[in-house]
Amino acid sequence: MSLKKKRRVQIILVAVVALALATGLIGYAMQDGINFFRSPTQVTETPPAAQETFRIGGLVEEGSLKVVGDAAVTFLVTDGNASVPVTYKGALPDLFKEGEGMIGSGNLIGGTFQATEILAKHDEEYMPVEVIDALKAQGVYQEGRKTPSEPLETVTNGAGNDS
Amino acid sequence: MIPELGQFALTLALITAVVQGVLPIWGASLNNALWMRSATSTASLQFVLIAIAFGALMRSFVVSDFTVLNVVENSNSLKPMLFKVAGTWGSHEGSLLLWTLILALFGAAVAVLGRNIPTGLKARTLSVQAWISIGFLSFMLFTSNPFDRVFPAPLDGNDLNPLLQDVGLAMHPPLLYIGYVGFSIVFSFAVAALIEGRVDPAWARWVRPWTLAAWVALTGGIALGSWWAYYELGWGGWWFWDPVENVSFMPWLLGTALLHSAIVTEKRGAFKSWTILLAILTFSLSLLGTFIVRSGLLTSVHAFAVDPERGIYILGLLTVSIGGSLTLYAARVHKMEPGGLFAPISREGGLLLNNLLLTLATATVLFGTLYPLFLEGLTGDKISVGPPFFNTSFIPIMLPLVLIMGIGPFLSWKRADLAGIISRLKWVILIAGISALVVWYIQTKGPALAVIAMAIAVWLLLATLREWSSRIRLGQVELTESLDRLRRVPRAAHGMTMAHAGLAVCMFGFVGSSAWKSEEVLFVQPGKLVQIAGFDVTFEGVEQVQGPNYTASVGKLSVMRNGRPVTILRPERRSYPVAQSQTTEAAIRSTPAGDLYASITEPVNQEIEGQWTLRILYEPLVGFVWFGSLMLVFGGLLSLSDRRLRVGAPKRKARSASLPIAAE
């Protein structure tokens, strides 16, 4: 085997070893780095184990938002069929309101979802797609909940697509 | 009238691009010099036409022309002028126009500045560049026209998303796009070289300044975006491993690999096919990023199906450009002559390892970004891949890279003496070890990995400085001679030192602010005292302030330390009536040791009326993230200024001959 060929084989070997290591790392990282999304109904039907971090999403039930202690809040997240109590200590995001969509990530401990992070929808128009799907699954979601306020919207839709 | 002019210019630009895409490359195969040279004029003309279109759109924003749909949706007459201008690229259509403008700018720059590039290579490169242009111009004209009109015109506009009304973010897209799109010209060079079937060290030398320019802009763009997230989102984080961030980070990682492999191609004629592949892949990732962000795929795979027109167009574009170039690569790669031999321990070996690790790191980020999309598409399961995934997979790949970065610049080409280098670095190793102990002594609470990472950062910084001082023989010869050497060392070498040291500085910030952060979140009433990281913070209350297009609630926090007043923090909560949304303006007290960071949110419901949610963070060393990023950018610019002299693209100063060849 010529030196050139030998060198090439060495490089390929190193690359293969590195690739195997990276695959192993990815596999290992996937154990706790990947969070499933579940709707309140799914959580109620098959409650995940306490050590599993997952995301839950739905609407914040009207009248359920309460303050406990120094900075923690509790509220119910619902998809119209089932509700799950959520506790969260931290600043609530912009546009977090009763009756609006939210997504939280955390763990289900003793039937209560202890959120470590809460996301609300980004702006007035946008609701997280996961939440929309969860609501649709329960038949509670109404298309176009936000009514177009101005005739502008109709023009927008007309001109935006065909030109 | 002006918007129609813009649209007309855009149409003309498309026609020009078609001419530029056909004539020069055809001329190159027929060896017709006139046709080949036509690329220079068409590339310049195309740029001018797109610049006219861009100017027309910007004018519509500046004068608040609400007959233009894009202006209505993204501007408002009350908006400050800077953000009216920035609104030009604040929307989907406008940002595409900016994309195309930069694409044409790079084409025109190569046409005008690249005088010493062989005519054939230049003609083919500009033709390939024109085809990318055709893809984006037609995409814009057919699916995302920025000049669509509205009738009847509304009285006022919807306003730009208030989160985006910020100086940092106004500058973020142009920089990021120069980075993204800058890699297009490298891609075009690579495809042109494949068509010619020839890559030589000279090719690498022509390509490197463009790679470097794109890399500098991308680095700046990413840093600016991260800075914006830090002070504007109110969470005190600077990197969230969000898919939008990842898609800009991946081209950066591969672009960094490309920058280093091009050195080997240039200096030793090796890694040719690998450099070509990296050039193709880097731009492919830029395109992928554009596709992912622009198609609505990120919100959900289903969002893509809802408005498929744009998504499918970009997907087609992506398939043709990536698939086509990779097919061409597969067909032509065997023609590349292999480069010179090298021992495993050598500069080539070090750079090979650099490329291997950077590519693997890119692969893990790519996996984490795309896996949720694939899974949802295949099984319908919705998952999110969070920071724990990236921290576990990405950091273990990057730490060894930083370790070898310390040694790399000491390695000589072909064969290096590792034992000799280690013995020269024994003091550095010792100090890095001691610093680990010191860090561990001061911060016993943080994770062990943070202590190791800190020591590795110290190692990189000192090893880099050690290499720099031995280059100018500091301390070995008289100071005047060292200063003389300092002047004669090529700027690219100084640039490398600056960039490598910059990464070490960044690491101090990365580690300090993520491992030893303190955070307090609580409901407060006026008079409430919060203690954090040795500071006594008192919440004094909130007052209302009227801004140009918003109203703000400004909180007042007096900060004391050991009984002495330190500062007064005024975090704001802004409410934008037109856009019907709110933003957080964090108040930050920055010192080299760390940032004291405060943000407030109004009460969420009646029950806690009068109580504000206060979030206070102390982030040690976070300022080093931005300072280190600046060093990276400045290092790149230093190196770039050297390149310009050497490539002699515009021969302003003819000093290049006397300079020794850079050995970075």
Q: Mean pLDDT: which of A146-160, B308-322, B650-664 is highest?
A: B308-322
Whether residue A25 and residue B396 make contact (CB cut-off 8 A), yes or no, is: yes
Q: Mean pLDDT: which of A93-97, B338-342, B550-554, B647-651 is highest?
A: B550-554
Q: What is the pLDDT of residue B56?
A: 94
pLDDT in tens, B239-286: 888 888 899 999 999 999 999 999 999 888 888 889 999 999 999 999
- Contact, B603 vs B611, CB < 8 A? yes
Residue A149 has pLDDT above 60, yes or no: no
Beta-strand relationship, A83-89 and A112-120: parallel
* Distance, CA of B349 to CA of B118 (rounded, Å): 31
- Per-position DSSP letters for B285-300, written without gaps between them: HHHHHHHHHHSSTTT-
Task: Kindly indicate the confidence band of residue B200, based on its pLDDT and cuts at 50, 70 and 90.
Answer: confident
- Contact, B223 vs B626, CB < 8 A? yes
- Identity of the amino acid at B486: L
* Distance, CA of A61 to CA of A76 (rounded, Å): 5
Whether residue B384 and residue A94 make contact (CB cut-off 8 A), yes or no, is: no
Q: To probe the interface with B, which of A129, A143, A150 has the most B CB atoms within 10 Å?
A: A129
Whether residue A19 and residue B344 make contact (CB cut-off 8 A), yes or no, is: no
Considering only CB atoms, B389 lies closest to which of A29, A65, A161, namely A29
Nearest Cα to Cα of residue B404 among B392, B389, B416: B416
pLDDT in tens, B458-508: 999 999 999 999 888 887 888 888 888 888 888 889 999 999 999 999 999
The interaxial angle of helices A3-33 and B387-407, nearest 10 deg, is 150
A143-162 residues touching B, CB cutoff 8 A: 150, 152, 155-156, 159-161
Whether residue B73 and residue A156 make contact (CB cut-off 8 A), yes or no, is: yes
- Per-position DSSP letters for chain A, written without gaps between them: --HHHHHHHHHHHHHHHHHHHHHHHHHHHHHHHEEEEE-HHHHHHSPPPTT--EEEEEEEPTT--EEETTTEEEEEEE-SS-EEEEEEESPPPTT--TTSEEEEEEEEETTEEEEEEEEE-SSSS---HHHHHHHHHTT---TT-S---SHHHHHHHHHHH--
Which residue in chain A has the smallest CA separation from B365? A26
- Contact, B458 vs B601, CB < 8 A? no
* Distance, CA of B64 to CA of B556 (rounded, Å): 36
Counting residues of chain B whose pLDDT is more than 90, the rounded percentage is: 45
Which residue in chain B has the smallest CA separation from A128? B299
A61-90 residues touching B, CB cutoff 8 A: 65-67, 70-71, 73, 89-90
Residue A133's alpha-carbon distances to A62, A117, B40, B377, in angstroms, are: 20, 21, 53, 14
Average pLDDT value over all residues in chain A: 75
Chain A residues within 8 A of B601 when measuring between CB atoms: 91-92, 94
ipTM: 0.76
Task: Kindly indicate the confidence band of residue B299, based on its pLDDT and cuts at 50, 70 and 90.
Answer: low
Whether residue A130 and residue B356 make contact (CB cut-off 8 A), yes or no, is: no
Chain-centroid distance of CA B150 in Å reads 35
| N- to C-terminal Cα separation, chain B | 54
Nearest Cα to Cα of residue B557 among B533, B584, B534, B535: B535
User: How close is the nearest chain B Cα to the Cα of A62, in Å?
Assistant: 11
Whether residue B386 and residue A105 make contact (CB cut-off 8 A), yes or no, is: yes
* Distance, CA of B24 to CA of B19 (rounded, Å): 8
- This prediction's pTM: 0.89
